[in-house]
Every structure is written in C-alpha cells, then in structure tokens.
Structure 1
Amino acid sequence: MPQILGRILILPEKYYIIHLWDRFWFRKIARYARIQALQYFKLNHPSKIRRALWSLLPVSSIPYYFYLLYAYSPRGKKIFNLEAVMYTIGNMLYDSLLFTLMKLRSKKQREIAKLISEKGFIQLLKLDE
C-alpha cells in the first residue's frame, strides 16, 4: 500500500479531474473520443450480422461473443486484452438472457412491455407529477 502524504478528500461523483498540465492531454482526449465513436458506431449501426446473431440467441452465443469482442475492441495493437474479454462476456451473457426471457413472454407480458416502451414507466406510475 503506498503512503499518502497530505489530506485525503472524498469527491462527489460528478467531479472530474483533468490534468491540463500534461503536454499531450489534447491528443489523449481526441484519441479516446475517436475510440468511443468507433465502438458506438460498431455497436449501434444497423448490422445484418448482429441482427441475425441476436435473433438466434442463445444458440449463437459464441459467434455473438466474438462479434461483440470485435465491436468493443479498438483497432490497434492490443485487440484482445483481458478487460475487453471480461466485459464482453458479461454483455454477451446479459444479451442472451434478455433475448431468452423476451422469447418466453406471454401475450399479456408483451402487451405490458409495449405499453411501457410507448408511454414510459415513470408516466404510467404517475411519478412525474
């Protein structure tokens, strides 16, 4: 455990620390923004492959996992790192479970889900007043 000299402050969640004295801080921010934009495009762009794999879940879990691994990894030297692999496993299991439960819904549950997605859960509970 490293030794800390000075005061220890607990910051609120909305507090950001930006190290502006770093010489290359703008390049770092631009690089991270580019990586995030690429990942967002790969995940949210309408893809026939993703739609087909998603409709065949949970049977197509392994190919869907590799598709998500490709979508989450930035192009560069380290495509498969441990953090991306573990994050992708969690998302693949979540999507598989979600799609399986959606397929097992009854007609009444489908109507309730459609009503919630159209009107909003908070408005149906009248909590926005």
Structure 2
Amino acid sequence: MLTRIPAVLSAALLASVLTAAGGSAANADTVTACGEELSQLGSSVGSVTITGGKVDKERAGLVKLVDDASDLADAGKTADAVVKLGNLQVKVDDLAAADRISAESAALLTTETANATGCLSST
C-alpha cells in the first residue's frame, strides 16, 4: 500500500493547483512589489483619528476596503483591487469633507492610496 506520494507526483500536483488557482511568478511579483504599499496603507487606515459618528464602524469599513484590495491583488485581480482602492479614496474624501478626519490625515491616506494604486496599475 502506498503511504507516501512520490516527490515528482507531489510537485506536479502542487504546480497544477497553483496554476488552477491563478498562481504564477508574475502574480507573486505583483504582491511582493505592492505588498509594502498596501501594508503601509492598512497601517495608516487602522490608526487614523476619526471623530464623531460611528467611529468603529467607519474604521472597520476602511480597513475592509484595504484588506479586500490586498486579497484581490494576491489573487492576481489587480484591476478589481484598484477599484477597491478607488472606493477607499471616496470614503476618505467623504470623511474629510465632513471634518471627521483632519486634512493632514486625508492627505496622508490619499498619498498612500495613490501609491498603492500606482503600484497595482503598473503591473
């Protein structure tokens, strides 16, 4: 009875799973290249001071947009990730217009969103 899969068969199985899942060297490069930008944006979104209203709900929504963009980038769906970042920018603009985040925070998030978007768009 076979209790272990031969190494060649294991490698072939792994390669076919990665291919089916959309994994490739190009996708890995995209994530590696943009992971820093998305991570920095996520950190900034998580720590930005939001005033008034449902602060926890607003923050959770912003964090979810960044997480979704990162997940989409990981899956090689960079165009969809860029759309999520566009949605994030709209939320940041809305919060700034309502004076719920400072102009400095809005500028920082706008810059970091643009950096992540530019990175994803260049892949």
Give the TM-score normalised by structure 2: 0.31
Which structure has greater helix proportion?
2
Q: State the structure with more CA Rg.
A: 1
TM-score normalised to structure 1 length: 0.30
Q: Which has the higher contact order (CA 8 A, sep 6+)?
A: 2
